[in-house]
Amino acid sequence: MAGAVKTILKKIYSLALIFNALISIATVAGIIYGYYRAYPYWQPYAPFLLNGNLFWLALAAAAINIFHCAAIGRVLHISRFLFHHYVYGIFVIVIASTYVVFFTPVSLHGLFFVDDVSVAVTVGRVFLLGGFVLLLDDLPDVSKRVETSLNWIKCKACRVKIALHVSQFITGIFAFYCSLAILFSTIQNGARALPNSFVIISLFITGITSFMLVKRRSWLNITPPEPKPPKLFV
């Protein structure tokens, strides 16, 4: 019983890390979009943030973390209820997309690029990202072609794992730095405390996750996928 509870908690931990990485990517993408759209009239979170382009490194930190965040839960053996996890993920994505289109004042393609923190829009964002979390968690099971593509990417990553290891540390530093810059800016101007809190916490966790994975040498310990034995009979 204790082993089953531990497995479930570890799975939840893995999903939470993926969810946080997606929040970081979505919120930072929105900031970058606003930065380039208003450039050079808006310098985000100045003077605490040196340059808005540094958000690209924070975004990269979240993207680099996703692989190992998903791998934490992917090795666990949890029984499925009726369908694969990705089926539920696609179902949630479809429902969330429909909700955004018909029940929010923003368009689906602009959901993460508008400065709107209303309850309706926030709910749409949360459920859409939640659907992608379930999809990413079970991505290899979507199809053999997807699994083959992911294995190919993993083989390529093995060739540059030292560079990925170093990049994870460097981008993690900038994710942490961006989080602190937004925090200090928010303390100085508390008018945007609520919307800024999401990206502050998310980037902080992203930075900590990067450091944790670097300490565990996650990229350095990555190995190529084992080749499957050829089928003798077709």
Can you give the residue range of the structural domain that contains 41?
2-78+144-215
Looking at the structure of the chain, the number of domains it has is 1
Statement: residue 48 has pLDDT above 70: yes
Q: Is residue 188 part of a domain?
A: yes
pLDDT, tens only, 84-132 = 778 899 999 999 999 999 999 999 999 999 988 899 999 999 999 999 9
Whether the predicted model's global pTM rises above the 0.95 cut: no
Q: Is residue 107 part of a domain?
A: no
More confidently predicted of 179 and 195: 179
More confidently predicted of 203 and 190: 203
Q: Is residue 183 part of a domain?
A: yes
Mean pLDDT lowest among 111-120, 148-157, 224-233: 224-233
Q: Residue 234: which pLDDT band, with cuts at 50, 70 and 90?
A: very low
Tell me the DSSP string of 172-220.
HHHHHHHHHHHHHHHHH-GGGHHHHHHHHHHHHHHHHHHHHHHHTTTTT
Q: Is residue 108 part of a domain?
A: no
Quick one: average pLDDT of 183-211? Answer: 93
Q: Residue 144: which pLDDT band, with cuts at 50, 70 and 90?
A: confident
* pLDDT at res. 3: 64
Q: Is residue 227 part of a domain?
A: no
Q: Is residue 120 part of a domain?
A: no
Statement: residue 185 has pLDDT above 50: yes
* pLDDT at res. 169: 97
* pLDDT at res. 151: 87
Q: Is residue 49 part of a domain?
A: yes
Q: Is residue 110 part of a domain?
A: no
Beta-carbon count within 10 A of 80 CB: 11
